[in-house]
Amino acid sequence: MVSTKDSRLVTLEEYIIQSQNRFPGATGELSQLLRDIGLAAKIISREVNKAGITNILGYDGSTNVHGESVKKLDLFADQQLISALDRSLITCMVISEENDGVVKLGSKGGKYIVYLDPLDGSSNIDVNVSIGSIFSVYMREPRFDPTVREEDALQPGVRQVAAGYVLYGSSTILAYTTGLGVSIFTLDPSIGEFILSDRGIKMPEHGAIYSINEGSYNSWDEGLKKYIKYCQEEDPDTNRPYSARYIGSMVADIHRTLMKGGIFIYPHSKKYPNGKLRLMYECNPLSFIIEQAGGVATDGQTRIMELQPKSIHEQTPIYIGSKKNVQTVMEFLEEHATVEQ
Ligand code: AFP
């Protein structure tokens, strides 16, 4: 991982304003939106950190749009992010994992559409394992149509104007991109500010870590089974066997992949014929980050960010990470797809 470090402390707010000043015509609205997300992230981080000592852990008794039990912290995170975005009147609608349809905000004329996974990896909350929030921002098209419709949100990932995540781990970090590289900020709880910790991140072209839920091995395609066996074989020239790491929070697994290289896979399987992970608020934003750092992301055939979404909650298989690792797994899939035909 290559990064540029600066000895002077730069806060998220300062950094966003400095970045905006490089574009003389910028209205400042996207900057404001990113600051709103930063503020909500601090509030969520505070609640996540004290979750064990408040009464907020556990289920709230309802189920979300995917039929999963909703945990109290998921709802809290959802509310914080949506109300932060609503306050500044620049977002017209939000699509969140926690809400069935689109959530239309007060500003019907707002020019941004935001996708959210307010608390990804929530099954890890009760066991104190890292979780995260993911966001993905699109410009509304056509810009001056006063009607806000769900179809306006069905844009491919290549049209994202910004995306990022907050990881509530051993420290809380916020990573984002607007298409000009990836910047990472670490929350200093003593002053309540996100401080720039890395920018211009470049991930390794090849990494020695693979990340997949191996419990589903029996329901994978032959090519994927063979690839995972390849990862486990001994070959010092290619650093094999690779290490297996799987947290079960996509944000945390992708953050490790970004920093150390390697590959994260959530394939289609008998249980999840279209994959499990959500295209619009998990795969697209994390693919934007990984691509900006020099990595790649595909569904096995098509670049993730070029997939045309048909619905706001759609799922996709994903192979994401260092360029060479993803190339190799694609070779295995192609070879065995031909054999199976
Ligand atoms: P939860 O938010 O329900 O815990 O799901 C997390 C997640 O969407 C993603 O963050 C993980 O990578 C993936 O699911 C884990 O899924 P498996 O438990 O099937 O491995």
Q: How confident is the model at residue 147 (pLDDT cuts 50, 70, 90)?
A: confident
Q: How confident is the model at residue 188 (pLDDT cuts 50, 70, 90)?
A: very high
Q: Is the CB of 275 under 6 A from ligand 1?
A: no
Per-residue burial over 38-67, b if 16 or more Cβ lie within 10 Å, else e, is bbbbbbbbebbeebeeeebeeeeeeebeee
Q: Is the CB of 63 under 6 A from ligand 1?
A: no
Q: Is the CB of 119 under 6 A from ligand 1?
A: no
CB 259 within 8 A of CB 251: no
Mean predicted confidence (pLDDT) in 268-282: 96
Atom number, ligand 1, closest to the C-alpha of residue 247: 12
* Range list of H helices, 50-207: 72-87
* Tokens matching residue 189: 């709880």
Alpha carbon of 249 to ligand 1 centroid (Å) = 6
Atom number, ligand 1, closest to the C-alpha of residue 123: 4
Q: Is the CB of 73 under 6 A from ligand 1?
A: no
Least confident of 56-70, 97-111, 200-214: 56-70
Alpha carbon of 212 to ligand 1 centroid (Å) = 11
* DSSP class per residue in 155-187: --GGGEEEEEEEEESSSEEEEEESSS-EEEEEE
Rounded CA separation 193/39 (Å): 9
The dihedral through the CA atoms of 226, 203, 170, 284 has a sign that is negative
Q: How confident is the model at residue 109 (pLDDT cuts 50, 70, 90)?
A: confident
Nearest CA to ligand 1 atom 15: 248
Instruction: Return the closest-CA partner of residue 255 out of 177, 181, 169.
Output: 169
**Amino acid, single-letter form, for residue 220:** W
Alpha carbon of 213 to ligand 1 centroid (Å) = 10
Alpha carbon of 337 to ligand 1 centroid (Å) = 27
Alpha carbon of 12 to ligand 1 centroid (Å) = 29
Question: Which of 84 and 149 is assigned the larger pLDDT?
Answer: 84
Average pLDDT, the chain: 91
Atom number, ligand 1, closest to the C-alpha of residue 249: 10
Burial label for 192, CB within 10 Å (0-12, 13-18, 19+), is exposed
pLDDT at 2 over 50: no
**pLDDT at 1 (0 to 100):** 46
